[in-house]
Amino acid sequence: MGFDDLRSILLSERETGKLLQVPPDLFDRTHAEIAELLKKVYAIEDPLSEEARALIEETIAMKETMHDLFSIRSRKIVALALVHAEGNYYDREEVKRMLPSEKTMFEQVAAGLLACQGTLLKNEKQPLVPAPAPVAAPAPAAPATPAAPAAAGAKTVIVIGGGPGGYVAAIRAAQLGAKVTLIEKEHLGGTCLNVGCIPTKCLLHSADLINGIKNQGADIGVKVTGVEVDFPQVIAHKDAISKKLTTGVGGLLKMNKVAKIDGTAAFTAPKTLEVTKADGSKESMTADDIIVATGSVNATPPIPGLKENPNCIDSTGALSLKELPKSMVVIGGGVIGLELACAYASFGTKITVVEALDHVLPMLDGDLTAIGVAHMKKMGMEFHLECPVQSVEKSSVGAKVVCKNKAGETVSFEAEKVLVAVGRKANTAELNLEAGKLDNDRGRIIVNNKMETSVSGVYAIGDCVKGFALLAHTAMVMGEVAAERIMGKDSVYDESTNPTCVYIEPEAASVGLTEEQAKAKGIDYVVGKFPMVANGRALILNGGEGLVKIIASKKYNEVLGMHIIGPDASDLIAEGALAIRLECTVDELISTIHSHPTVTEAVRECALNVEKRCIHSKN
C-alpha cells in the first residue's frame, strides 16, 4: 500500500520532528494508487464542484507532483493537509504563515484527500466534498465613503510622508492601479536616506577604509604613509550619495505616476486633511484611503542644561559637522549612538559612552554584544554603564556631562561635542490625531497586522506606529502591506523574520530569538556556535574576529534564531531570516551546499555545531 506507507511516514515526521528515509519507489506507488482512486471518484455520479473536478484532473495528470515530496517543506505541508483532511486538531497559524504557493499546495492536497476520503482515508464510502478553504481570510473592511469621487473609477490614495515606508506604499498602490498623491514636507527618502541609515553608513565606510589601512595594511603588504581624514570630504561624499538616492526616489514616483505635493498635512476630521503647501496655501483633501507614514524624530531627554548647550547634538547634527571634534561624549548605548561612535573613533575622536542601563545594545544576543564591546574598547572607546546623566554644564572644552555612577558618586566627562542618542519618538505631533479619531499611545498610532488604524480607510506604517520595529526595511514592508490591503489583497505584516543589523565594528546582525529570549519563554532549545577565526575568508577580511550563533528547538531542530558578528554580518543574516520564514531545520541548512571560500560557510559550520559534528572547530 503506497498511500498508507507514505501517510505513516509523513505523520511520524510531523509528530517527532525527525526526517525519515522514504523509498524512492514509494512516490510512484502512491501516485498510481491515488490516481486510480481519483479516476473512480471522478466516475461517480455524486456532485462535485467545478473547482474540485479541476483539482482532480490536475492531480491525475501531474505525476511529477509526487516527487515534490522530496522537498522537506513540501512534506510538512502534505502532513498538515493529512491532519486537516482527517479532521484532527492543528494550529491554524501554521497555515497563516505559509507563502501563497504553499497555501495553494495545502488546499489542493487537502481537497484531493477529502474528495476521495471514503476510499483512501477511512476505507468506507463518504460523501464527496468540494475543495475546502481552510484559511479563509476576512474580507477587507469597506472604506468610508470618500469626500471626493475617484477619477475614472480609480481608487484614490493619499500617503502622508515620503520616507522609506511612504514612498514604497505610494509606488505599490500605484502599481496596483490606484491614483496616488504623496505629501512630503521636506526631503524624499525621509530620515533614512537624508539623516539616518545611508549617511551613517557613508561615514562608516570611510572609517572602515581607515581601519583596514591602520590595522591590517602592514600585515597584508600594503604600506601607506600619511593617512589622514579629510573630514569635509567625508561629509561631502555622504551628501552626494544621499542626493543621488533621493533623486532616484523622485524618479521612481514620476515613473509610477504618483503626484507629489510639497507641504504638510493635518487631520481636521476622520479621513479629511488640511494640506498646507510650500507656498503657504491651504487645501482640504480626502481620498478613498489614507496612509500615514510620517516616521520618527530624535527624542530629547529632559536633562537640565542639555537644550541650552549648542555643543549638544543629535544624530542629525553628528552627520553635518563642519569640523572633526577631538572628543565626544555619547549619551546612550543603543544602535544610533554606537554606530556613530565607531565612525568618529576611527576618525580619531576620543569617545566616551555613558549609559543608564547595565548593558548596551539590548536588541542583540549577549554573546554578540560581548564581542562588539570588547572590540570597541580596543578602538579606545570608554564605557560607563549604570551611569545615568544628571545634567549638562558649560565647559571651556565644549560641554560637561555630569553623571551618577553605580556607586552613587558624582562623576563628570568633558568633551567638545555631546551626542544625545537615547532613542526616537513618533513624528505625529503636527497630524492632529485627535481630530482624525486615530487611537494612539502618546503619539504612536495603534494598528493591527494589516496596518489598519481605528478609522476605516486610514492606515499607518513605519516609525509612527506602536508595537513594531523602528527600521527602514520594516517600514517598507508595512507600506507594501497597507497598499495591498487597500487594493483588495489579503496581505498581513509578519515581523518574525525581521533582521536587526548594527553597523558597529565588526558588524553585528540578528534575526529571531536570542538565547536570552528563548530562556525567558521557557523554550527547550539547543545552541550552535562557530568562531570566525576558523573561517578562511573571515581570517583574510578582518583577522577572524566574530562569531555565528544559532538557536534551534530541541524537539524539531527548527531554526529559531541566528546571530552573527563579523565581516558582512548584515548581508549574511538574510540566510537566517529565510531559514526562519521557511521553518527550516538545522539539517536543511547543513544539506545546503555553501560556496568556498566564503564567510557564509561559517553559517553551515554553526549548524553542524548544533548537532555536535562541526568539521572546522571543536564541538
Residues catalogued as catalytic: 596
Bridge partners of 291, per DSSP, are 159, 459
Query: In terms of Cα–Cα distance, which of 163, 322, 333, 330 is closest to 238?
Result: 322
Three-class SS of residue 437?
A: coil
Which residues, other chains included, contact 546 with Cβ-Cβ below 8 Å and sequence gap of 6+? 371, 506, 531, 532, 538, 564, 565, 566, 567, 569
Angle of helix 24-43 versus helix 50-61 axis, rounded to 10: 140
User: Rg (Cα) of the chain, in Å, rounded?
Assistant: 29
Distances in Å between the Cα of 602 and the Cα atoms of 179, 531, 560, 562, 563 are 48, 8, 17, 12, 12
Burial 602-617 (b: 16+ CB within 10 A, else e): bbbbbbbbbeeebeeb
Q: Are 224 and 267 in contact (CB under 8 A)?
A: no
Q: Are 3 and 33 in contact (CB under 8 A)?
A: yes
Q: Are 182 and 167 in contact (CB under 8 A)?
A: yes
Q: Are 462 and 293 in contact (CB under 8 A)?
A: yes
Burial 534-545 (b: 16+ CB within 10 A, else e): bbebbbebbebb
Q: Are 204 and 318 in contact (CB under 8 A)?
A: no
Q: Are 502 and 338 in contact (CB under 8 A)?
A: yes
Q: Please, which contacts does 229-235 make with residues 24 or more away whose CB atoms are closer than 8 Å?
A: 229/324, 229/347, 229/348, 231/321, 231/323, 231/324, 231/347, 232/322, 234/202, 234/203, 234/206, 234/347, 235/319, 235/320, 235/321, 235/322
Which residues, other chains included, contact 150 with Cβ-Cβ below 8 Å and sequence gap of 6+? 156, 179, 288
Output the DSSP codes for 175-236: HTT-EEEEEESS-TTHHHHHHSHHHHHHHHHHHHHHHHHHHHTTTTT----S----HHHHHH
Using left for φ > 0, alpha for ψ between -120 and 50, and beta otherwise, residue 126 falls in beta
Burial 374-393 (b: 16+ CB within 10 A, else e): ebbeebebebbbebebbebe
Distances in Å between the Cα of 492 and the Cα atoms of 176, 447, 488, 582, 586 are 17, 12, 12, 17, 27
Which residues, other chains included, contact 369 with Cβ-Cβ below 8 Å and sequence gap of 6+? 359, 360, 361, 508
Which residues, other chains included, contact 556 with Cβ-Cβ below 8 Å and sequence gap of 6+? 17, 585
Q: Are 157 and 288 in contact (CB under 8 A)?
A: yes
Bridge partners of 290, per DSSP, are 158, 458
| 3-class SS string, 531-549 | EHHHCHHHHHHHCCCCEEE
